[in-house]
Structure 1
Amino acid sequence: MYSVKEVLIQKNAGYLAGWNDEVYKRAGAKIVDKEVWESDIVLKVRPPLVESEINETEFFKSGSTLISFFHPSQNQDKIKLLQKRKMNLFAMDQIPRISRAQSFDALSSMANIAGYKAVIEAANVFGRFFTGQITAAGKVPPCKILVIGAGVAGLSAVGTARRMGAIVKAFDTRAAAKEQVESMGAEFLQVEIKEDGSTVGGYSKEMSPEFIKAEMALFLEQCKICDIVITTALIPGKPAPKLISKEMINAMRPGSVIVDMAAEAGGNVELTKPGKLFVTENGINIIGYTDFPSRLPVQSSTL
């Protein structure tokens, strides 16, 4: 049985999430600065930074262990750098979402937060109310929102948008999602081709060319009438599938908003700029933030 000799917390590590250093001290931790990198086991939310001015992989002690939301398929170059230091890596995002692993499933809680925050970010950019109103100044139509992907993040977005008064439609390749979407008061969209995209782990799989062609036609028609489109589609171990083309973007009305929640994995939207809010020449706002849970740090830390 191994015992932990010392727990080190980087100075101000929890400050933005509402946890000051004194809280960690009372729990028995030691507050340090750069010494935190000398630990045998390092817990870090994001992958190590590897940029022109800084390379955090060089800070780790040789033979140490890193536990992080690493996304190995998108960070093969960083894995090679860790291999050179003979390190062990536990990628939190690779833990299977099954019953016996539920206590380790931080992906679901973060996806829940991300779906909520995606709608809030869209509302911040969108120039109208979500809910319809009849006022002395005139009638205000309700906002129409399309959510592509009805996993944890998508359902969170659906629920948030519905509570804010929007008309919500959702699409998913998994047949089981239909009941969940409709139970939240949203309309579930389907294509004529019958094909189920479910996998054992609950993720979506790649669909047939015929199905993809049909869903692309559906998305184009919806982009013409929807004010906000939120995409959440991811395939484990592969780049995010491209679902929203330039043609679809150009079909939307000026002032419309697209939130690409898959931006960190390459994006579902053709014009997404990861980490940024991009406005097209036609006035379409494309939100490609890669840190939605970090934008609600107190909630993320709690869950």
Structure 2
Amino acid sequence: MKIGVLKEQAPGERRVALVPGVVATLSATGVEVLVETGAGARANFPDSTYDAQGAAVASRTEICREADVIVCVGPPDGLEPRRGQLLVGLLRPQERPEQLRAWARTGATVVSLDLLPRTLSRAQAMDALTSQATVVGYKAVLVAANAYGGYFPMLVTAAGTVRPASVLVLGAGVAGLQGMGTARRLGAVVTGYDVRPEAREEVRSVGARFLDLPGGPDAGGTGGYARELTDEEREAQQQALRTAIGDADVVITTAGVPGRRPPVLVTEEAIKEMRAGSVVVDTAAGPLGGNVALSKPDTTVVVDGVTIIGAGNLAATMPAAASTAYARNILAILAHLCPGGEPRIDLTDEIQDAIVVAHEGELRHEC
């Protein structure tokens, strides 16, 4: 079996789907790995490191022609997989329905890790969304601390005592909990909030205080995500959050569901009530919107002294760590899809049924 690794082409994307250490693992099993020239360079994995682990450095054209399986991070533009070829990555099918239909028409098997059932214990090693969210939560706090003009911890100095920063994290999924834990380790006073009732103990487990909103909605959902709020619940939530947002020095938002517009948690009115010098980091900012009313993807804006950072692709800013974690996810999913070193698609398997979005010319999940 030949596995091809594509160089990511999206602006600002520095990750790579396989790192040299995982290539060595695959090579030891007899799998041939083809890596596109420069694929790992932006993650500080030069071509020579792949060559040293048994991979062949090749052109994109050669990879598309020869590989049985093509792996990538984000959806590759301009790729025309051939019949029977596997394409595996975080392909965001809900955002790119036309591209997905085009891939399906080629007869390729298209596998999108965005759709992995996150509640299955046997799928944990394959869970790329979780591995990347861990990076996002950690880096969001560092971005916030860098933009904030004060200290995160309490300091007792000869010039007096400096109070710790107040950090509010909205969303208690993987990224949110990682952010809370990181902010706590930096010495901030941390509060977390989520609409899911089970999040209360998760927030407390990382040393943060849980924000109780009067009349706040209970929106426990399925698959590890919250259900969508009604318009009335959303308005009540936003109103209840305004006071807590206004009291915070730093607000980090992490609420998002793949393929759907993120909920707006920080309104323009809430931003107006924040103190000058406060910082907001919106990790959900992207083409579908964000959690913060005035945030813009990959852009920092200042509104009445409040710094608002649209940071929807933070994992790409820590490419070595993010790529290493993602490569392990790819290794796990390849073991599941290709037992014995050959692709075997079994749509009766609940994992494959969820993540295989196109197979043998059929589009299996309408987006």
Assess same fold via TM > 0.5: yes
Aligned: 1:10 with 2:36:
yes
1:135-183 CA distances to partner (integer Å, 9 max, x unpaired)? 2223322111110110110000000001101111111011111112112
Q: Give the whole-Å Cα distance in 1 for the aligned partners of 2:216 and 2:163.
A: 34
In the other structure, the counterpart of 1:229 is: 251
Q: Do residues 120 (structure 1) and 120 (structure 2) align?
A: no
Q: Contact 2:283 / 2:311 at 8 angstroms: preserved in 1?
A: yes
How far apart, in 1, do the equivalents of 2:37 and 2:199 lie?
43
Structure 1 residues 213-252: Cα deviation after superposition (integer angstroms, max 9, x where no partner): 3321222111211111111111344211111111111211
What is the distance in 1 between the residues matched to 2:156 and 2:52? 55
Alpha-carbon distance in 2 for matches of 1:140, 1:163: 17
> Which stretches in structure 2 are left out of the alignment for 5+ residues?
3-30, 326-367
Following the alignment from structure 2 to structure 1, what is the Cα–Cα distance between the partners of residues 258 and 159?
Answer: 49
What amino acid is the match of 1:131?
P
Q: 1:100 to 1:200 in 2, by over 3 A?
A: farther
Contact 1:204 1:234 in 2 (8 A): no
Q: Which residue of 1 aligns with 2:238?
A: 216
Identity of aligned residues (%): 39
Residues 17-38 of structure 1: CA distance to partner in whole angstroms, max 9, x if unpaired? Answer: 3323233223322101333343
Is the CA contact (8 Å cut-off) linking 1:235 and 1:241 kept in structure 2? no
Deviates more, 1:116-125 or 1:173-182: 173-182
Counterpart position of 2:110: 89
- More displaced stretch, 161-170 vs 233-242: 233-242
Q: What is the 5 A alignment of 1:1-303?
A: 3-4=1-2, 6-34=32-60, 35-38=62-65, 39-48=67-76, 56-57=77-78, 59-63=79-83, 64-83=85-104, 85-97=106-118, 98-193=120-215, 195-264=217-286, 265-280=288-303, 282-303=304-325
Whether the 8 Å contact between 2:33 and 2:55 is mirrored in structure 1 is yes
Q: What is the aligned residue count?
A: 292
CA RMSD of aligned residues (A): 2.0
Query: Is the 1:167–1:186 Cα contact (8 Å) retained in structure 2?
Result: yes
Deviation of 1:85 after TM superposition, in Å, equals 4.3
**Residue 45 of structure 1: how far off its partner (Å):** 0.6
Work out the CA distance in 2 between the residues paired with 1:194 and 1:277.
30
Alpha-carbon contact 1:110-1:300 (below 8 Å) kept: yes
Q: Greater CA deviation, 122-131 or 247-256?
A: 247-256
How much does 1:203 deviate?
1.0
Cα distance in 2, alignment partners of residues 183 and 40 from structure 1 = 44
Cα distance change, pair 9–248 in 1 and its aligned pair in 2 (3 A): same
Q: Are the structure 2 counterparts of residues 223 and 196 from structure 1 closer, same or farther at C-alpha, using a change threshold of 3 Å? A: closer
Q: Does the CA-based 8 Å contact 1:17-1:297 persist in structure 2?
A: yes
* Letter paired with 1:243: L
The whole-number CA distance in structure 2 between the counterparts of 1:12 and 1:205 is: 41
* Cα distance, 1:261 vs structure 2: 1.0
Amino acid at match of 2:204: E
In structure 1, C-alpha distance between the alignment counterparts of 2:212 and 2:232, rounded to whole Å: 14
Larger RCO: Structure 1 or Structure 2 (Cα < 8 Å, ≥ 6 residues apart)?
Answer: 2
Whether the aligned pair in 2 keeps the contact of 1:203 and 1:236 (CA below 8 Å) is: no
The whole-number CA distance in structure 2 between the counterparts of 1:260 and 1:8 is 37
Partners in 1 of 2:141 and 2:203 — Cα distance? 16
